[in-house]
Amino acid sequence: MLPDLYRTRLSETARAALPRLPALEWWLGQGRREQPGADWRHWLQRAWHGGELAAATPASIAGAAVAGVRPNEPLWLAAPVHFVAGLDTLRLHPAGLLRLDAREQQELAADFLQVFAGSGWSLHATGRREMLVSGGAPVALRSHDPGLWLGADPAQGLPAGERAGPLRQFGAELEMWLHEHPVNVARLRNGLLNVNALWLWGGGEPLAPQPVASTRAVVWAADLFVDGLCALAGSVADPPPRRWSLPSGASGVRPDLLVLCELGAEPDAGTLSALERDWIDPALEAWRSGTFRSATLLAGDEAVRLERAPFRRLWRVWRRRRPWWEELLQC
């Protein structure tokens, strides 16, 4: 999974600065597209643990990994973002999906507890990119992953529906609270984008863990949603290694392997080349060698599955290879 490679709007200048990634392009060119239009979270919900969580919302799943969540309160993912306001426009900054460190999250959560005391809302630090909000009335609202709106007007991605008013009002109160917050003052002093909003999305009811008897899955990830998937199955995710390496015993028991690769920074030539060298290329070689019968690459709303195919078909697809950004980044 490549959660940092969102579809985004690229200028000619931006495309010219991107490196070609031959292994990723080979994978995209040869693989078979699956379930078009579903992002990587929805794909995992349907494909993992027998699809038992296919109908759950992202916040419901993520909440299973967060301590202190009350069982009777709706949950919302709260993504720290940076909006850019013009005279009559609003855009989500192209690098505006932010990651707060554990100290920043804990400072915000502690201050929220005082400022919003008695409001019925709670803010939970998670140590991951998204924080978690609980509270409010249980309502079904349309909302979207903020990563889909990088560089664009976010209006169509924010919570919407007949009863979206209270949640949007709460979001406006969060913006006022974050304005000139000490956490943001420190970020600006350090040359970082400030958090001027928490994007609330993926709302749903808490889920109770239902541990399975056993699992062969090996999970490498540092993501709140994946943490929740593991918690609901009675397992845990291990921190990703610095580069691809087969888990011990993989050649004998052939476990399912779930790997989430985050760039950890805004995509640039260095981080993208490291992704290709340390993850895509060795994973592709493992599939070619027969270590895995199939391999699926998840990025944005693309799921590209590699399976055995006749050589003629491989050669034909190889001839049509396009730059990876034409496959993944163009809206």
Highest mean pLDDT among 157-161, 182-186, 204-208, 288-292: 182-186
How far lies 326's CA from each of 94, 260, 330, in Å? 18, 22, 6
* pLDDT tens digit sequence for 60-116: 999 999 998 888 889 999 999 999 988 888 999 988 999 999 999 999 999 999 999
* pLDDT tens digit sequence for 184-239: 999 999 999 999 999 999 998 888 766 554 556 788 888 999 999 888 888 888 88
Average pLDDT over residues 148-169: 87
DSSP E strand stretches across the chain:
32-33, 75-85, 90-97, 121-124, 131-135, 197-204, 218-220, 257-259, 295-299, 302-306
pTM of the model: 0.88
Domain segments of the chain as ranges: 12-56+209-328, 63-204
CA distance 287 to 207: 35
Interacting residues of 190 by C-beta distance below 8 A, sequence separation 6+: none
Burial of 297 (0-12, 13-18, 19+ CB in 10 A): buried
Nearest C-alpha neighbor of 234 from the set 209, 199, 202: 209
